[in-house]
Structure 1
Amino acid sequence: MNAIQPLAPVAKPMFDPAALTAHVAQRAAEVRRLRGLFAPTSMGKLSLTTALESYDGPDPGAWSRLRRGAFMAGNPAELDTQERLIMMAVAVHEAAERPPLFTHGTARAILDLPSIGRDPQLIELAKPPGRSGRSPQTRRRRTSIEPTGLAVDELLVTTIDRTVIDSARERSLESAVTTADAALRREIADAGSLLAQVRALPKGARGCKMAELALCLADGRAESPLESLSRIRMFQLGLPMPELQVEFYDASGFIGRVDFFWRQLGIIGEADGRVKFRVTEGLTGKAAEEAAWRAKRRDDRLLRHPAVRKVGHWDWGEALRSHVFVQVMSELGVRPVRQGGWPIPDGPLPRKSRAMPL
């Protein structure tokens, strides 16, 4: 290869029914794995069971109480947030007279849809019409629009579309877009269908304006929650909209695919979470040094490209704090403009869509 190839933008992912089927199957397998640690019984019956000579399960001292009449093998503190929510959902499901429909944060956990910010610790489920009552460690969500259920193993959750839309209606803009980006990237949702469903909500429905904005801004080319957060910070701060996932080549071949590129400015931006530069566990310090060297060489090649003037990097700590992020962008050479080119709906933007100082 003797010449520099043109820059190559990456196409947006498209909805794939096979991808949706595979994703639900993978999540069902995870629910089954965690359900294997669950014991729906009282402590007295559990003690009798573990005393039987034929018992070959966990050590009796290894059981932990989840809620009344529900135990798990092991320590819940050793589970991550997503796994704990799924375990609690299993416990609520087993105690219910009829299968509950899990919604919002619980549905996101079961469906493995990321968000930004702290998820509710209570198990969220739809409140059946005309029914009342309480259940410990749960929050019943009223809804004016009857949700449709999706079976993930034995658990019933709101559909992918409904879970994304519910998040978009009540979470922060950066969190809502992170959830939508992930669904689009995995090809388990369709951008046009999501937006059409939001626009079909009853006039004045709570959170519909924020949801419409979030789905207008969603883009499945974002490859991580940090990239989604960074892009929404750029929007909130009035910065020009970048191109996503542009591939660069030189005379030696492929250089890399960058997170953000402002073509007119000749500036590349990279959202660098720890995962991007993680060295496989057990490798030596020399391997870590080699990974850092490769990253530097990549930047050097990008800077020699005729379309590139500058390359900048930032991390989670900088992207989360808007007043820090605007300084990072300013030093990189990306500053607010009057018309940023962002795809936004007609009319005034929701008040809460702007960045809050942190």
Structure 2
Amino acid sequence: MARTYNPDISVSMLDDALHRGLTTREKILATLAQCLETRNTKKVHLALELADARRESPAESIAAVRFFQHGFVGFVPQVEFDAPSLRRKIRVDFCHKAARLIVEIDGLGKLYLGSGVPRDELERERRREQWLRDQGWRVIRVTWKELFTEAKFEEIRRALMSAR
């Protein structure tokens, strides 16, 4: 599939398989070494290089591919913070420590996780984001639609540049 599809699709599929423990990078490389087909091998290696088992959704995988395409480096997926005032740990989709920048990928699914009450989840998310801001982090939210536009990635670029 990585020979045929663009990285946003193939990386999403690889991330999911790796995240669910269905395969490993080593198994994929071993299979690739046994293939007689050599077409688009560089494309396969790029997809494997970009793949990361820590990502939890196709949107996060696409965001990571977009970071690569825009030349952004330093984003780490699924970073956890201890938030004592919230009496819990919080995890963010992407963290760029040097730039003190958090990128959160928004999806409607988040509103139905946890309590299952969207209003409660929105309030919980608001408190979580405020805690991050109080700690000196800038938070940029990206919707599914914005993954396919340039404007949001220009905002991220400006945030990275201003942190230098």
Is 2:50–2:64's contact at 8 Å kept on the other side of the alignment?
no
Does residue 196 (structure 1) correspond to residue 16 (structure 2)? The answer is no
Distance 1:294 1:245 in 2: 18
State the partner residue of 1:237. Answer: 70
Q: Which residue of 2 aligns with 1:258?
A: 92
Residues 1:269 and 2:99 are matched in the alignment: no
User: What is the letter of the counterpart of residue 40 of structure 2?
Assistant: G
Q: Give the alignment of 1:31-70 within 5 angstroms.
A: none
SS at match of 2:39: coil
Q: TM (normalized to structure 1)?
A: 0.41
- Residues of 2 paired with 1:183 and 1:279: CA distance? 22
Asked whether the equivalents of residues 81 and 89 of structure 2 are also in contact (C-alpha less than 8 Å), the reply is: yes
Under a length normalisation based on structure 2, what TM-score does the superposition of the two structures give? Answer: 0.86
What residue identity is the alignment partner of 1:188?
L
Alignment of 1:77-88 (within 5 A): none
CA shift for structure 1 position 197: 2.6
What's 2:139 paired with?
A: 311
1:234 and 1:241 in contact (8 A); partners too: no
Deviation at 1:199, TM superposition (A): 4.2
CA distance in 2, matches of 1:199, 1:298: 45
Within 5 Å, which residues of 2 pair with 1:1-358? 167-202=1-36, 205-252=38-85, 253-278=87-112, 287-305=117-135, 308-321=136-149, 323-331=150-158, 333-335=159-161
Q: Does the 8 A contact of 2:11 with 2:48 survive in 1?
A: yes
Q: CA deviation at 1:329?
A: 1.4
Q: Deviations over 1:138-169 (max 9, x none)?
A: xxxxxxxxxxxxxxxxxxxxxxxxxxxxx111
Q: Partner letter of residue 328 of structure 1? A: E
- Shift in Å at residue 326 of structure 1? 1.9
CA shift, 1:290, in A, is 2.5
Q: Which amino acid aligns with 2:3?
A: R
Structure 1 unpaired stretches of 5+: 1-166, 336-358
Distance 2:74 2:3 in 1: 23
CA distance, structure 1, for counterparts of residue 74 and residue 31 of structure 2: 25
Write the distance in 2 (CA, Å) between the matches of 1:310 and 1:233.
19
Number of residues of Structure 1 aligned to a counterpart in Structure 2: 159
Q: How far 1:200 sits from its partner (Å)?
A: 4.5
Look up the equivalent residue of 1:262 and give its one-letter code: H
CA RMSD of superposed structures (Å) = 2.1
Deviation at 1:244, TM superposition (A): 1.2
State, as a whole percentage, how many aligned pairs show the same letter.
30
Greater helix content:
2
* Deviation (angstroms), 1:325: 3.5
Give the drift of 1:198: 2.3
8 Å contact from structure 1 (residues 198, 212) kept in 2: no
Amino acid at match of 1:169: R
